[in-house]
Amino acid sequence: MSGMSGTSDAAKLRVVVVDDHTVMRAGVVALLAPEAGIEVVGEADDGRSGVALVEELRPDVALLDLRMPGLDGVAATERIVAGPSRTRVLILTTYDTDTEIERAVEAGAIGYLLKDTTREQLVDAIRSAARGETVLAPRVAQKLVAKLRRPTQTALTAREVDVLTAVADGLSNPDIAKRLIIGEATVKTHLLRIFAKLDVGDRTRAVVVAMERGVL
């Protein structure tokens, strides 16, 4: 973790770069160096140090990698957003999976960029983030839009949760019927509805998805 001293123009946007890859971090700093209106005031090589640096320096924007040792980018984002600084968090990563994007946005990141971004795009993103504007790489935006357009899954009923809990306990259809005092045909009907709502094709996957969504 390191802060950078020197006279700072009050009009400049102050930025902290947090990335455990030294070469990548140095590359980002070098990209921003020619920009007169932006000053990199500190660097950190892991999430925990990054959070401490942000709390110390109170920069306008923190550029965070996602996967870092000790404290990852999502957890670091949560701490920064919940902390005393008004720093905006901009994720800069190579990962663009739905899960990674959602976790970062839910944690409070104002933007999500990929490391193939150009210097101009990065500078524009930092300026936008500092103004409180959401910034998403085109590929990331496409993924979020596609997810929003998917049909919303209907919530499981209390009885369906009971059936799925029994499945998770390893019970067969006859055993589930006995436990819940219902017919086997009713158990099968419940399972078919559960599969449809969770968009799965078998019992095992239904349990896994339900656990992922916090249903079980």
Neighbours of 123 (CB within 10 A): 18
User: Could you tell me which CATH class the domain 2-149 is placed in?
Assistant: alpha beta
Average pLDDT for 108-118: 92
Report CA dihedral (198, 201, 202, 203) to the nearest 10 degrees. Answer: 10
- Between 1 and 103, the more confident residue is 103
**pLDDT higher than threshold 90 for residue 169:** yes
pLDDT mean across residues, the chain: 89
**pLDDT higher than threshold 80 for residue 98:** no
Quote the pTM value: 0.67
Contact between 167 and 176 under an 8 Å Cβ cutoff? The reply is yes
Q: What does the pLDDT read at residue 149?
A: 66
Pick the CATH number of 158-212 from 3.10.20.30, 1.10.10.10, 3.20.20.140, 2.10.25.10: 1.10.10.10
Q: Which two tokens stand for residue 156?
A: 């499981």
Which DSSP state fits 90?
A: E
Q: Where are the domains of the chain?
A: 2-149, 158-212
Q: How far apart are CA 39 and CA 16, in angstroms?
A: 9
What does each C-alpha distance from 111 to 46, 60, 88 come to in angstroms? 19, 13, 9
Neighbours of 35 (CB within 10 A): 18
Q: Please check whether the two domains, 2-149 and 158-212, share a CATH topology.
A: no
pLDDT digits (tens, 9 = 90+) for 23-79: 999 999 999 999 999 999 999 999 999 999 999 999 999 999 999 988 999 999 999
